[in-house]
Amino acid sequence: MSELVRLKAAGKRYESAGPPALDGVDLTISAGEAVAVMGPSGSGKSTLLNLVAGLDRPTHGQVEVAGTELNRLSEKALARFRRTHIGIVFQFFHLLDDLTARDNVLLPAQLAGTSRRAAFDRADELLDALGLAARADAYPARMSGGERQRVAVARALINRPPLLLADEPTGAVDAKTGAQVMELLRDLNRSGQTVLLVTHDAALARGCATRLVQVRDGKLTEQVTANAATHEQVKP
């Protein structure tokens, strides 16, 4: 399997005094894996995800995605790289309230310069695949939490990024909807999408990940293979 993400002794110190939020993390993710990063609140999960997303830069070590060391890229190049290589789903959806579901999904394709026609077709294909065809013209305020998160997933996937990231994607929805979001991520992974997910919910993580990783006090403490019966075992 080809390597999609590699962190080498990666760390992040937000303030010069005090301990680093993330320290000496070595982690490799192969194409096709679904890796869940677990750990208590404040342990450094979002910091780790943001480094992989190129939303933040490491203060030590290296972060590579698809063979590119992110820290070598200028802000502009990094933004361009993110647009085509990384899709992100957040806890609170981060949809634009004055755009319809379809227009939210379309936006990253427009920013990437995709032709209007191709972007529209891809948006409708995704909305359809995620059971949102009838909601394409709805505004986020009129949608349920689960619908909003599915729109956010469609938006994350519109540019066909090799890597899908999710930061507590079930954190703002009820338990039943959370289970559906996890099923969606699991199905996407089964159809080939590489996923890196952070969550503090172990049960949900086990349901959709092929590999579990623990973060505690900014350090990766253990890597265990998910025991979801339906998944092939992936070597850590």
Q: How far is CA 8 from CA 19, 51, 104, 233, in A?
A: 19, 12, 35, 24
Q: Counting contacts by CB under 6 A, is residue 170 touching ligand ADP?
A: no
Q: Counting contacts by CB under 6 A, is residue 92 touching ligand ADP?
A: no
Q: Counting contacts by CB under 5 A, is residue 46 touching Mg ion?
A: yes
Q: Counting contacts by CB under 6 A, is residue 42 touching ligand ADP?
A: yes
Q: How far is the CB of 198 from Mg ion (least distance, A)?
A: 6
Cα separation of 174 and 184, whole Å? 15
Closest CA to 30 of 184, 166, 210, 188: 210
Q: How far is the CB of 105 from Mg ion (least distance, A)?
A: 25
Q: How far is the CB of 107 from ligand ADP (least distance, A)?
A: 25
The listed partner (ligand ADP, Mg ion, none) that binds 11, CB under 5 to 8 Å by sort, is none
Q: Which of 21, 53, 164, 188 is close enough to bind ligand ADP by CB under 6 A?
A: 21
Amino acid found at 149? Q
Cα separation of 184 and 149, whole Å? 10
How many residues at the interface with Mg ion, by CB under 5 A?
A: 2
133-161 CB burial, b ≥16 within 10 A, e <16: eebbebbbeebebbbbbbbbbbbbbbbeb
Q: How far is the CB of 198 from ligand ADP (least distance, A)?
A: 7
The nearer residue to ligand ADP, 59 or 110, going by C-beta atoms, is 59
The nearer residue to ligand ADP, 43 or 149, going by C-beta atoms, is 43
